[in-house]
Structure 1
């Protein structure tokens, strides 16, 4: 069983980095918004943070008691979150590598997670349910029955007010959509801006601007 994390260069069509540290299979891998870190979640319950430039492990979080199903970086702040089969979602501060908060234990495992575009809340998909949570302190904003089956992935990237989910059964893959204007905090029974963040301002990821196009003629083979 290969429990390593590999970074591939699609142009070179080869592996450029291999990170070893997990003792069981890796279930989720995500790049940080600035592309300098990689987070991974393993079957043994560990969440690891890797520095691509230094080629080493930055930190290991061992707060879960079950396999990690998903990891996700906050789109702006130095914040990382993870979901697990122990039915909790953890939030970590990446400045001091500390646990910020842990969600209330669910009735079932959260299989996939994603932040909304503004980073105001986190969506979690489980078996026939979509959960909306906040942190500092951890609290549930809304639980939406969706009857999608086992949700494997969710995304809000293509539209700020729409969430797309994917589930599968045997050889059938299904795509679903949720109107987030009807779900807290954008809508629903919970009033806007329900979050109670800490007084400290967390550091933000800095994305480098895209390089200017070269004026040199390059032949493509």
Structure 2
């Protein structure tokens, strides 16, 4: 299954092999900016310009939860690894963490000076957020604490984040041409991966966590064949 978000205010779930549209969900009143599946594949979160985040049943396509609290567009979202919590990032510069099937937010995390463009949970429950302010913030949501402020992408929009399988390192991409790898033990930058000729928009680790693939405006894909984790 894969999902798509649209300016027509709908969210669609598609069957990956047949490309058949399984569900069309239309509860948003304005453009939808983000969709994310829960790791267990049972739920989908969507967020958009109506300032709401909605939780959907993947099986039925029905909306099961509405999350209100942001005061501007919801631009990013991510589920925790146990599928019990969902984080949302907004143009109001805040990150909010919610319990699945509970309308009350767990915590509001503030500190970014720009829109929160991307979010990612590690398997250990650490949450990373990337912003238009050029920083990545690493949070301990349970303690309501910011662990690190990673400032290597200064003055550029941080576009995507990815934790390695064990959560030991974090990859970040931004509007510049470099991908950065961060050590979660100390918040230090381990590597700068260079090669893209334009902005890097997305990144993902392989299941083994030793390779990272990144995508760019240059219409090709680079793979770092060095081991990320030593």
Q: TM-score range, shorter-chain basis? A: 0.7 to 0.9
Q: Does residue 155 in structure 1 map to residue 162 in structure 2? A: yes
1:143-186 Cα shifts (integer Å, max 9, x gaps): 121125211110013563221112236xxx542222222229xx
2:135 corresponds in structure 1 to 129
How high is the TM-score relative to the length of structure 2? 0.72
CA contact (8 A) 2:80 2:123 kept: no
Q: Does 1:80 align with 2:79?
A: no
Which stretch of the first structure deviates more once superposed, 109-118 or 30-39? 109-118
What is the CA distance between 1:14 and its match in structure 2?
Answer: 2.0
**CA–CA distance in 2 between the matches of 1:64 and 1:134?**
20
- Taking structure 1 as the reference length, what is the TM-score of the superposition? 0.75
Residue number in structure 2 paired with 1:21: 27
Aligned to 2:4: none
**RMSD over equivalenced CA pairs, Å:** 1.9
Contact kept? 2:123, 2:165, Cα under 8 Å = no
Q: Which residue of 2 aligns with 1:111?
A: 117
- Answer with 1 or 2: which has the greater Rg: 1
Instruction: Give every structure 1 segment of 4 or more consecutive aligned residues whose post-TM-superposition deviation is greater than 4 Å.
Output: none
* Residue 186 of structure 2 corresponds to residue 182 of structure 1: yes
Q: Distance in 1 between matches of 2:141 and 2:32?
A: 26
**Is 1:55–2:50 an aligned residue pair?**
no
Higher relative contact order (CA 8 A, sep 6+): 1
Deviations 1:12-47 (A, max 9, x none): 122111111111111111111110110011122110
Structure 2: runs of 5 or more not aligned: 1-6, 189-230
Given that 2:137 and 2:149 are in contact with CA atoms closer than 8 Å, whether structure 1 keeps it comes out as: yes
- The change in CA–CA distance for 1:144 and 1:167 in structure 2 (over 3 A counts) is closer
Which position in structure 2 is the counterpart of 1:165? 172
Query: Paired residues, what number?
Result: 180
Residues 157, 27 of structure 1: CA spacing in aligned structure 2 closer, same or farther, 3 A cutoff? farther
Q: Please name the residue that 1:93 is paired with.
A: 99
**Structure 1: gaps (5+ residues):** 185-221
How many angstroms apart in 2 are the aligned matches of 1:9 and 1:110?
A: 30
Secondary structure of the 2:116 match is coil
- What is the CA–CA distance in structure 2 between the aligned matches of 1:98 and 1:52, rounded to whole Å? 22
8 Å CA contact 1:101, 1:137 repeated in 2: no
